[in-house]
Amino acid sequence: MVKITYNAARCKGCHYCVNACPKKCITLSGDTNNAGYETVKFNETECVACGSCYTVCPDYAIVIEKED
């Protein structure tokens, strides 16, 4: 079970996470946050909690927790 906490208010829309995800479970949300940046959305069922999106995020918007 993977729990992704995404803080959309911190996101600056660089989309490094979309590029880095090996399972392609991060996609553009089509929505913008208050600062005007396009945010992303996550498919938690496909996620394997590899931490790639957390590693490349320059704005600390993603927290991943995995419990087996």
Partner 1 sequence: MAAKTFNIPTLMQGLPPHTACQGCGHGIAGRIIYEVIEEMGMSSNCVAFHDLACGANMLFAQKGNGFSGAHGRAIPTATGFKRTRPDMLVFSYAGDGATYSIGMQHTIHTALRNENITAIVVNNTNFGMTGGQMSPATLIGQKTTSSPKGRTAELNGNPIDITEVYSGMKIAYLARGSVDSVANINKTKAYIRKAFEKQMAGCGFSFVEIMAPCPTNWGMTALGSIKRMQDEVLKLYPVGEYIDGGAK
- Segment contacting partner 1 (CB under 8 A): 24-32, 39-47, 56-64? 56-64
3-state SS string for the chain:
CEEEEECCCCCCCCCHHHHHCCCCCEEEEEEECCCCCEEEEECCCCCCCCCHHHHHCCCCCEEEEECC
Write down the least CB distance from residue 55 to partner 1, Å: 5
User: Residue 62, interface with partner 1 (CB under 8 A)?
Assistant: yes
Supply φ then ψ for residue 18, to 5 degrees.
-60, -40
Write down the least CB distance from residue 1 to partner 1, Å: 10
x/- map, 6-35, partner 1, by CB under 8 A: ---xx-xxxxx--xx---------------
CB 67 within 8 A of CB 1: yes
Binding residues for partner 1 (CB under 8 A): 9-10, 12-16, 19-20, 37, 49, 51-52, 54-60, 62-68
